[in-house]
Chain A
Amino acid sequence: MTVMARSRSTGRTHIQSAAWGIVVECLYVAVLCAALFLITAAIWFYFSRCRV
């Protein structure tokens, strides 16, 4: 596999595709963390209201 060869479907080189792949994987983790933070905040808010 030559790293500078372009994919026929995306037109990107293998290095560009891999770099984009890494960005997408990091993006998933960021979205997951954001979603888990919202769940945490919602439950914490519910309990803090209960205590009041």
Chain B
Amino acid sequence: MISRPTLRDFSIIGFSTGKILTGVSLLYVVPLAIAAAFGEWSAFVDFAIGLNATLAAGAVLILLGDGTREPTRWIQSMVIAAFSWFAAMLLCAIPHFLSGNFLSYLDCIFDVMSGFTTTGLTLIQDLDHASHSLNMWRHLLTYVGGQGMIVMVLVFLLRGTAGAYMMYVGEGKDERLLPNIVHTSRAIWLISIVYLIIGTAVLSLLLAREGIGFPRCLLHGLWLFQSAWSTGGFAPQSQNVLYYHSYAVELGTLFFFVIGSFNFILHYAVWSGNVREMWKNIEIRSFTVTAALTTALLVFALAQLSIYGDAFILFRRAVYNLLSAHTTTGFATAYVQQFKADWGDLALLAMITAMAFGGSACSTAGGIKGLRVGIIAKSIYHEIKRIVLSEDAVFVTKFHHIRDIILGDQQVKMAGLIALCYVVLYFTGGILGVVCGYPFTDALFESTSAGSNSGLSCGITAAGMPLILKLYYLLAMWAGRLEFISLFGLIAFGVSVFRGK
């Protein structure tokens, strides 16, 4: 029997959502400061309105909610995680809408969801002339979304809340770095902030070397780092990374987005002196193998067509875009039309495969994830071994992820189930794209890009795209980022409201 949620369930969900929104409202301080520093007073007012609306919504939910000390139940935590993302998306879109850079509020919501989920697909108009504060806001949302909105609030606001771990899981991060969840969240932020300082300094210097003056080089360095580290894909110029025409900037961003796609547990282990983990970890091995195979396929496709004159240019174009796709970043050094017109179907399929695999679990990246790909590959190896060996043979298959783990049925089942959900998400979008009149390869490319939170586009994502496709990509970004579980929780909660007894 499905039990109907009580008023108390709603008030517990409302209270935690209110706290998360209050935490999110603190982020407005950054674009407000940038707007004041650069004299963008119109934008300053937009952000002040956004801050007040978000803070007011958070305060109302806290006042109406129930701040119980009892642990929240799984279903409540899942609903809090999914609903917080949805509410934050609606409220953080206010400055976007007031900026005049978007054609509708839905386009603003799309851009915010794309930022929070570290996707990078955008519907902004005239990006090249957008204000510094709006660019700061878009990249800040990407940076926070990469680490996790709930992770951020856990560090600053939800310390004493029982059931915090379940909300953390609901946000698509299901592994702990440390036994305590608040310490885990703090470690995630420490790693990200150390890299933020290093990355901004390195990229700013590289941009200054290319002739970009101060403070533009510092702002672009910060924004490119935030996007790279969070595997986001937003850039302050409409031509993305191609705008800089710099091999050094491409190499710099490549380093940061590949490192940004690593599991935070791996960062923590390597930073704690366990450097061997870098070579032994199943996710790194899985990523290395799939990156090599998809690169070979992409290079084969491009070399066959003789698009690029020599091996060096081929490497620069193919490997950068492929690793950007595989880590689900979305930085591009090829024009949107080039993907479609010049690269051909085989090259697009290599990119789609790379995007579908994605980065690491418990990281800023999206997609099926290296851990699941590794577990599925190990289980196939286990089954082949079982067929080859005699029926009486007893054996176990292990994989290494911080420690040696014996492959169990439950792990294989969960990995297979989530992978299947991603494949269904990608193909449903592909079919929907064909229904809307796009070629299947293009539609599958765009759908996989949205579902895996990659952000590369072959031209379908635009302000004038069909409404149904815009809504589907919005849902795909949300579902892909939260790894389905909390979204299923939200659906189950909605069903129990109407069908429960």
CA A20 to CA B275, docked complex, whole Å: 8
Residues of chain A contacted by B304 (CB below 8 angstroms): 47
Known: A32-B258, A45-B311, A47-B304. A24 touches B275 (CB 8 A): yes
Distance to closest chain A CB from B79 (angstroms): 34
Nearest-neighbor residue (CB-CB) of A27 within chain B:
B278
Inter-chain CA distance A46–B270, complex, in Å, is 38
Interface size on A, residues (CB 8 A): 28
Q: Which of B195, B300, B311, B314 has the most CB of A within 10 A?
A: B311
Is the CB–CB distance between A21 and B315 below 8 Å? Answer: no
Contact A44 B314 (CB under 8 A): yes
A1-52 CB contacts (< 8 Å) to partner B: 7, 9-10, 12, 17-18, 20-22, 24-26, 28-29, 32-33, 35-37, 39-41, 43-47, 51
Query: In the docked arrangement, what's the CA distance between A25 and B271, Å?
Result: 9
Give the dominant DSSP class at A's interface.
helix
Residues of B within 8 A of A33 (CB): 254, 319
The number of chain B residues with a CB under 8 A from chain A is 33
B191-203 interface mask toward A, CB cutoff 8 Å, 1 = contact, 0 = none?
0001100100000
Residues of B near A40 (CB, < 8 A) are 295, 299, 311, 314-315, 318-319
Shortest distance between the CB of A5 and any CB in chain B (Å): 12
Query: In the assembly, what is the distance between CA of A10 and CA of B275, in Å?
Result: 11
A10 to B299, CA, bound (A): 42
Asked whether, in the complex, the Cβ of B315 is within 8 Å of the Cβ of A17, the reply is no
Q: With the chains together, A9 CA to B258 CA distance in Å?
A: 29
Which residue of chain A is the closest to B258 with respect to CB atoms? A29
Residue ranges of B at the interface with A (Cβ–Cβ < 8 Å)? 194-195, 198, 254-255, 258-259, 262, 267, 270-273, 275, 278, 284, 288, 291-292, 295-296, 299-300, 303-304, 306, 310-311, 314-315, 318-319, 323
Jot down 9 A-B pairs with beta carbons below 8 A, ordered by A.
A21-B267, A22-B198, A29-B254, A32-B258, A36-B295, A40-B295, A40-B314, A43-B299, A47-B306
Given contacts A17-B272, A40-B315, A43-B300, list 7 more A-B pairs with CB under 8 A.
A12-B273, A18-B271, A36-B295, A39-B292, A40-B299, A44-B310, A47-B306
